[in-house]
Amino acid sequence: MSESNKPLNFIAQIIQQELAEGRCTQVVTRFPPEPNGYLHIGHAKSICLNFGLAESFGGRCNLRFDDTNPAKEEKEYVEAIKRDVEWLGYTWDQECYASDYFQQLYDWAVELIKKGKAYVDSQSSEEMASQKGTPTQAGTDSPHRTRSVEENLRLFEDMKNGKYKEGEHVLRAKIDMASPNMLMRDPVMYRILHRAHHRTNTDWCIYPLYDWTHGESDYLEQVSHSLCTLEFLPHRELYDWFLDQLVSKDRLRPKQREFARRNLSHTLVSKRKLLQLVEQKVVDGWDDPRMPTISGMRRRGYPPKAIKNFADAIGIAKRDNVVDLSLLEFHVREQLNKTAPRVMAVLSPLKVVITNYQEGKEEWLEAENNPEDESAGFRKVPFSRELYIEEDDFREEANRKFFRLKLGGEVRLKNGYIIKAESCTKDSKGNVLEVQCTYDPKSKSGSGTEESLRKVKGTLHWVSIPHAFEAEVRLYDRLFSDPTPDAHKDRDFMEFINPDSLQKITAFLEPGLKEAKVGEQFQFQRMGYFNVDTDSTPGNPIFNRTVGLRDTWAKLDQKE
């Protein structure tokens, strides 16, 4: 691969070293989502990391659903997650479910009880919390901590057999109520939950908790490197303690490694807050193109390769970070620039009449589909006496920096002729309604004449009015105006919602676009990249702005 000489991130370095030292012979990773919601850009990073690492070391990566909480999980999410991972272009080795290990986990728990390493506690969660102590103060032992093995076994079995109500008992690991690590103060391993599970239905009424599931699942799947975000770092001690109780020396012992979660500017990723946006109809649903969900980015038109390259570019480390959205947008443009056919679309029309162009005449001009890709070929676009150009592309008068059309000035119509603005008509408020131009018949693009080779500073896109095709275009912008909308202590993230994050307009497009199919992507020249939204119907495409083009003029203009 061309990336072989790229410096390794710290996790890849660890893997390389452990491979060399023989701790493991093959790299096995896993992507372990809980099926309780939709995947977002943060998950995408984790997917790229886990699958990417396995790929580059010739190993494999499992997709594992961490489904130990039936109160929150649904099959619908399992399907959505699989769709998103596939869309990113990854193929998992095994499709696993923590729920497949419930029996094994139960058996191991019984063993722990027999070894005196776990006990049934019968206090309320409030009582247990009050005994937990604080980070600076040791906890106190539960009165049930000294129950006999026999009593614990009987109670645990009765828990499993549904003899108790929720909250009556829990199974706890017997570790150390004075540990400086709060997680080691006799953590709960099982709770009673009389709930149907999306896969095991009512087979179980006790469910294992995260800590008593994750490492064990890793062990059962013989995962060599269990990667997670930094907030799980304190869990590592417990992860190892549980494994200590059950690993056999001849099998691979998984290791947990932590990396810092990536924060993307101008967005947030908290499930609760995203849900709020959906419920309060700030957005159109979980796959709204403004959402940071994978399904939202897909609908927005972000290519999977762009997301992968982005994930790769931001790297991996252990410090707090906020990655600028513009880096993601750069990778989106980088992909689309190579692949998206160029077309002409006028988003905000201004009528131009070419007074010396014969009335009723039409010409079909040759237009290049993609200057970045010769194999993309050419197409024909209709030209006539009456055209639309972009409102912003005309000013009655302007300084030298304005390369576009102004009275007495010349400009080239892309793929067409050089025109000169002679006059304009305005309404009573002074708004320009129409621009009258003359054209140079000899300046036709590609004709090879001296006039056609003449340089004019500006080139405008345009659409022939009689041929134009009207379509709905949705102009999306960032959802939040603040780089870190949910990092303000005294201000709610809802205050930072960008009121202009969506603008629906009717645009005028070259006629060929009428046949555009859902998912197809285009560059509207000088405007941005657009894709056909899933709301479209045949013959009535709706276009989403995926991302604008870099616009140095907009910046220049703003400074004035």
Partner RNA sequence: UGGCCUAUGGUGUAAUUGGCAACACUACUGAUUUUGGUUCAGUCAUUCUAGGUUCGAGUCCUAGUAGGCCAACCA
CB of 7 to RNA, least distance (A): 4
Restricting to residues 506-525, which ones interact with RNA according to CB under 7 A?
523, 525
Nearer CB in complex with RNA: 193/518: 193
Residues 15/27, Cβ–Cβ less than 8 Å: yes
Among 414, 467, 474, 545, binds RNA (CB under 7 A): 414
Among 319, 361, 429, 517, binds RNA (CB under 7 A): 319
- Contact segment (CB under 7 A) with RNA among 88-96, 108-116, 327-335, 422-430 equals 327-335
Kindly tell me which residue out of 200, 276, 348, 370 binds RNA, with binding defined by CB under 7 A: 370
In the complex, the smallest distance separating the C-beta of residue 530 from RNA, rounded to whole angstroms, is 12
Distance CA 12, CA 14 (A): 5
What does the block give as tokens for 479? Answer: 């959802």
Distance between CA 343 and CA 381 in Å, rounded? 9
Tell me: does residue 361 bind RNA (CB under 7 A): no
If the CB atoms of residues 283 and 522 are measured against RNA, the closer one turns out to be: 522
342 contributes a contact to RNA by CB under 7 A? yes
Contact call for residues 484 and 265 (beta carbons, < 8 A): yes
Stretch that binds RNA, among 195-203, 243-251, 353-361, 544-552 (CB under 7 A): 544-552
374 catalytically annotated: no
Task: Select from 47, 80, 170, 277 the one that contacts RNA (CB under 7 A).
Answer: 170
Residues in 223-262 at the binding interface with RNA, rule: CB under 7 A = 230-235, 260
408 Cβ contact partners less than 8 Å away, ≥ 6 residues apart: 420, 421, 422
Q: Is 66 in the site for RNA (CB under 7 A)?
A: yes
Q: Is residue 167 near RNA by the rule CB under 7 A?
A: yes
In one-letter notation, the amino acid at residue 279 is E
Q: Looking at 51, 90, 207, 286, which residue binds RNA (CB under 7 A)?
A: 207
**CA pseudo-torsion sign 446, 367, 507, 386:** positive
Site membership for RNA, residue 556 (CB under 7 A): yes
Count the neighbouring beta carbons within 10 Å of the beta carbon of residue 287. Answer: 19
Query: Smallest Cα–Cα separation from 340: which of 554, 85, 545?
Result: 545
Q: Which residues of 467-500 are buried (b: 16+ CB within 10 A; e: fewer)?
A: bbbebbbbbbbbbbebbbbbeeeeeebeebbeee
Choosing from 327, 353, 432, 518, the residue that interacts with RNA (CB under 7 A) is 327
Binding residues for RNA restricted to 273-302, rule: CB under 7 A: none
Distances (CA, A) of 312 to 6, 174, 546: 11, 42, 21
**Of the residues 18, 34, 74, 334, which is catalytic?**
34
Rounded Cα distance, 396 and 355, in Å = 18
| Amino acid letter for position 283 | V
Kind of pairing between the strands at 188-192 and 170-173: antiparallel
Which residues does 250 contact at the CB level (< 8 Å), separation at least 6?
none
Taking CB under 7 A as the criterion, which residues in 102-121 touch RNA? none
Strand partners, 40: 293
Measured from the CB atom, is 108 or 536 closer to RNA?
A: 108
Residue 298 annotated in active site? no
CB of 161 or CB of 321, closer to RNA: 321
Of positions 107, 111, 151, 166, contacts RNA by CB under 7 A: 166
- Kindly state whether residue 34 participates in binding RNA, applying the rule CB under 7 A: yes
What does DSSP say about strands 349-354 and 432-439: parallel, antiparallel, or unpaired? parallel
State the Cα–Cα distance between residues 72 and 37, nearest whole angstrom.
Answer: 9
Give the range of 41-49, 75-83, 165-173, 536-544 binding RNA by CB under 7 A: 165-173
Task: Based on the shown chain and the rule CB under 7 A, indicate whether residue 19 belongs to the binding site for RNA.
Answer: no
State yes or no: residue 132 binds RNA (CB under 7 A): yes
Per the structure block, which two tokens stand in for 550? 């870099």
Q: Does 326 bind RNA (CB under 7 A)?
A: yes
Handedness of CA 399, 550, 291, 269 (dihedral sign): negative
Q: Residue 474 in contact with residue 533, Cβ under 8 Å?
A: yes
Indicate whether 537 belongs to the interface with RNA (CB under 7 A).
no
The active-site residue, picked from 23, 117, 253, 261, is: 261
Residue from 144, 160, 255, 333 binding RNA (CB under 7 A): 333
SS3 (DSSP) at 541: coil
Q: Does 313 bind RNA (CB under 7 A)?
A: yes
Site for RNA in 74-103 (CB under 7 A): none
Classify residue 493 by its DSSP letter.
G
Q: Catalytic pick from 75, 115, 271, 338?
A: 271
Name the segment binding RNA (CB under 7 A); options: 207-215, 218-226, 246-254, 469-477: 207-215
CB neighbour list of residue 322: distance below 8 Å, 6 or more residues apart: 263, 264, 265, 483, 484
- DSSP-assigned states of every residue in 300-324: HT--HHHHHHHHHHH---SS---B-
Q: How many residues contact RNA, by CB under 7 A?
A: 91
Q: Which of 315, 441, 511, 512 binds RNA (CB under 7 A)?
A: 315
Please indicate whether residue 426 is annotated as part of the active site: no
Query: Structure tokens of 99?
Result: 């729920």
Site string for RNA, 431-470 (x = CB under 7 A): -------------xxx-----x--x--xxxx---------
Assess contact for 22 and 55: CB atoms under 8 A: no
Nearer to RNA, 10 or 378 (CB): 10
Q: Which residue number, 136 or 375, has a Cβ lying nearer to RNA?
A: 136
Residues designated as active site: 34, 261, 271
